[in-house]
Copies of this chain bind each other. A is one copy, B any other.
Amino acid sequence: MKTIEVCLTPDLIHQHELSGKIVVVVDIFRATSCIVTGLAHGVESMKPVGEVEETKALGKKGYLMAGERGGIKVPEFDMGNSPFEYQADEVKGKKIAISTTNGSQAIIKSAEAQEIIIGAFLNLESIAQYVLQSKINVVIHCAGWKGTPNLEDTLFAGALIDECVEEMGTVGDSALVAHQLYIANHENLFGIAKQSSHAERLSGFGIEEDLEFCMTENEYQVVPKLEDGEIVG
């Protein structure tokens, strides 16, 4: 039986063997939700980068520059971190460099994996189908918040396990914790996610619609995949 395990934060990734596995990277608020949205709306590719300066260097090569710091769009950037910006006609066919702290770190720390794919509630069912049809084991890598676990990424891990658990075995207690968390809250995902530290930090920014959208299941059918440093749909 194939297995599925959960790493609750990049600071625990050393506990997980990644080689030969699919790693599903998740950063619900808001990096992976933006990536899924952009690729579903015709963005050519998304390049995850850590630093603002690296993003600007890519901007000079023709990339759209995206990302925020402390909840606010970086002034020189073309776009911030709201998934709605990634639905605009202006992004179709474009390459986007997206600067994120937590999401990029999770992707970089997943480098040993055989495949890296990008998960969000927005493409939950498509990710589930992809991993169920694959022949290899799965690690869900939650981006968390600056090295600590967060509620919304853990909820996603539980949701993905819930989709897969009849055909895959879970490994480790983080998977059990995440699954229990999802089972207890699946009828009120947005309600519980609003209590998260991240949602509270962002509550002054008027982005409740963003957060609600990020908690919407199965809006899109893409399975974004990292290929040569760029995420493609």
Enumerate chain A interface residues (CB-CB to B < 8 A).
8-9, 11-12, 14-15, 145-151, 154, 172-174, 176-177, 180-181, 183-185, 192, 195-198
Contact = CB atoms under 8 A, between A and B. Distances in A.
A148 B173 contact: yes
A230 B84 CA distance: 57
B8 A11 contact: no
B176 A195 contact: yes
A176 B147 contact: no
Contacts of A145: 173
Main secondary structure, interface of A, reads helix
**Which 8 residue pairs spanning A and B have beta carbons closest together?**
A184-B184, A151-B173, A150-B173, A15-B148, A173-B197, A149-B174, A151-B176, A180-B181
Contacts of A146: 15
Given A172-B197, A176-B195, 9 more contacts: A11-B14, A12-B148, A150-B173, A151-B177, A154-B177, A176-B197, A180-B181, A180-B185, A181-B184
Given A11-B12, A12-B9, A12-B11, A176 B148 contact: no
**Identical chains bound together, number:** 2
A173 B192 contact: no
Nearest to A183: B184
Contacts of A15: 11, 146-148
Contacts of A150: 173
Contacts of A180: 181, 184-185, 192
Nearest to A5: B148
A79 to B, nearest CB: 27
A143 B149 CA distance: 16
A80 B8 CA distance: 32
Tell me which of A176, A183, A195 has the highest count of chain B C-beta atoms within 10 A of its own C-beta: A176
A4 to B, nearest CB: 14
A156 to B, nearest CB: 13
A177 B173 contact: no
A178 to B, nearest CB: 8
Contacts of A14: 11
Contacts of A148: 12, 15, 172-174
A8 to B, nearest CB: 7
A173 B12 CA distance: 16
